Structure 1
């Protein structure tokens, strides 16, 4: 039986400026005790990023939550940083329609 913590994968950083984030340098969960800052993420069965959280000293500093269309394209991103929330919508062609 897996726990929710087992569903997370951990990363050192990301690259690019587009959404969804492109996470890089996967970390072994055993290496997290030596890290002050890292990203934890959950993916769906198609390896699409569903949620990504930046942890700094054990606290979530930033989170991205993604929703996808049936054909696989990104439909919505919700970005939360502290008290600030930003919703970004995308059309069928992947073009940003609202920020």
Structure 2
């Protein structure tokens, strides 16, 4: 686990759920990364919320999500960058529903 300008960084095998923000699951230790072709590098803010993640495939970022939250903890915005570096921005109301 390390701390970056984006927050605390931890690594995971995959994610669960279909609603944003995704939930990263099956945490990996730093010593387990060398044998993995694909994994997720998650960033967590001071409140422990997922502020974003990168999906790494053979060392290259294939997908990135960045999240910001309303003061009540509900998702405010998701910025998703795909493998072609296309950015999709999704906004959410204070109940966490798509705006």
TM-score by length of 1: 0.90
Residue 46 of structure 1 corresponds to which residue in structure 2? 47
Q: Deviations over 1:6-48 (max 9, x none)?
A: 9310000001100001111000011000000000011012111
Describe how 1:1-99 pairs up with structure 2 within 5 A: 4=4, 7-81=8-82, 82-97=84-99
Which stretch of the first structure deviates more once superposed, 3-12 or 47-56? 3-12
**1:57 Cα offset (Å):** 0.4
Q: Which runs of 5+ in 2 are unaligned?
A: none
After superposition, the C-alpha distances for 1:71-92 in whole angstroms (9 at most, x for unaligned) are 2111000000022111000001
Where do 5+ consecutive residues of structure 1 fail to align? none
Structure 1 stretches of 4+ with a deviation exceeding 2 A read 2-7
Provide the secondary structure at the position in 2 that maps to 1:96.
coil
8 A Cα contact 2:13 2:40, kept in partner: yes
Length-normalised TM-score, structure 2: 0.90
Q: Whose helix fraction is larger, Structure 1's or Structure 2's?
A: 1
